[in-house]
Structure 1
Amino acid sequence: MNREPVGPHRGRAGRWRDQLIALGWLVLVWNLLWGDFSWGNLVGGVLVAGAVLLFFPLPPVSFGGRLRPRALLVFLVRFVGELVSASAHVARIAVQPGCRPRGAIIAVRLRVRTDLNLALTAEAVSLVPGTLIIEVDRDAGVLYVHVLDVRGPQDLTASRERILAVERRVVRAVGSAAEVRQVDTDPVDRGVLP
């Protein structure tokens, strides 16, 4: 995520807004964990979220991007499509007699190295069956990903391109204009490590 110093342009109102957003998310997660939206869970969530934010303050982080509904919809539709396709592929491997799939670990250098992009891309990649994030090198912007059912170098290249396509869709959905230009103009080859 883009970290910007707290200054006169950000002010106290911006910090309070960020804290209220964090409080809201924590209360929502609390209620989802309990599985029941009741007044007791709401009050309990506010108390727990307030304590978390008081005793474990978050660093000042602001969102430097822009939410684009159309690109977000494209991301979600493609994500669901990949989820269904990968689930069917992994299920086929699981029930195929005598199948011994080979896995590989690949390193993929992302083009946009913000914390938000790293986190969202890593989560989207990890949620798809057959891929798992092994490690994230935050400073270099590199994801180390375990991929399933690798038959040759072309599968490794296809996996890298798929991960970079996920990054492109994430950035187009929530990135800044400069980040969108960066993923649209940078060649894919620069995102691949040997």
Structure 2
Amino acid sequence: MFLGHLLLSGTLAALFGAFHFHGLLAAFVLLYLLCRLAVSVQPLRRHARRVELGSAFIVWFIGQVLLASLHVASLVLARQVRVEPAVVAVSLRRPEARLATLLGCLLSLTPGTMALEYRETEGILFIHALDARSPAAVEHLLRELERRLLHWLDAGGSG
């Protein structure tokens, strides 16, 4: 549905002669608003809700990457490097291989963390953290990422 939304936005922008970034963005937002206002058509409402949650997730995740970048930069530029790297094992709420893969990829994009291994039988994801003085903080990062990701992915089932 999202790909259809994107293709329709591109077609709409091309028809109006505004096939550049701003025109494509305006057409995307216009179609989103039309989907959101179509309250009687359930699939369109679910699609609009997914677009909202996906956009919020992306903005939040970019903020997390920026904060982690600043943290790693402060560790590198400090006079005395005080890091305690460690491998932390975290059990996932939903032990699905595709979800663990997605979480691992997102964690590996965050500076200072990297997903190492996932044991599907136990539902445990092993994470290497550059600064794991507090393993609870590393687990909290994964829990928040998992919660927000599941909230976005499960939005298609509710109206």
State TM-score, norm by structure 2: 0.63
Deviation at 1:77, TM superposition (A): 1.1
Q: Which residue of 2 aligns with 1:160?
A: 139
The answer on whether the counterparts of 2:90 and 2:126 sit within 8 Å (CA) in structure 1 is: yes
The answer on whether the counterparts of 2:57 and 2:149 sit within 8 Å (CA) in structure 1 is: yes
Which one has the bigger helix percentage? 2
Distance across 1 between alignment mates of 2:123 and 2:156 = 19
Q: Which residue of 1 aligns with 2:150?
A: 171
The answer on whether the counterparts of 1:74 and 1:169 sit within 8 Å (CA) in structure 2 is: no
Q: Percent identity?
A: 31
Distance across 2 between alignment mates of 1:89 and 1:82 = 10
CA RMSD of aligned residues (A): 2.1
Deviation at 1:150, TM superposition (A): 2.7
In structure 2, stretches of 5+ residues that fail to align are 1-45
The answer on whether the counterparts of 2:132 and 2:138 sit within 8 Å (CA) in structure 1 is: no
Equivalent AA in structure 2 for residue 96 of structure 1 = A
Task: For residue 116 of structure 2, give the secondary structure of its aligned residue in structure 1.
Answer: strand
Distance across 2 between alignment mates of 1:75 and 1:102 = 29
The structure-2 alpha-carbon separation of the partners of 1:142 and 1:111, relative to structure 1 and needing over 3 Å to count, comes to: same
Deviation at 1:100, TM superposition (A): 3.2
Equivalent AA in structure 2 for residue 82 of structure 1 = Q
Deviation at 1:176, TM superposition (A): 6.6
Equivalent AA in structure 1 for residue 103 of structure 2 = T
Q: Which residue of 1 aligns with 2:97?
A: 115
In structure 1, stretches of 5+ residues that fail to align are 1-65, 181-194
The answer on whether the counterparts of 1:120 and 1:170 sit within 8 Å (CA) in structure 2 is: no
Q: Which residue of 2 aligns with 1:73?
A: 55
Q: In the TM superposition, what are the counterparts of 1:90-109 in structure 2 within 5 Å?
A: 90-109=72-91
State TM-score, norm by structure 1: 0.52
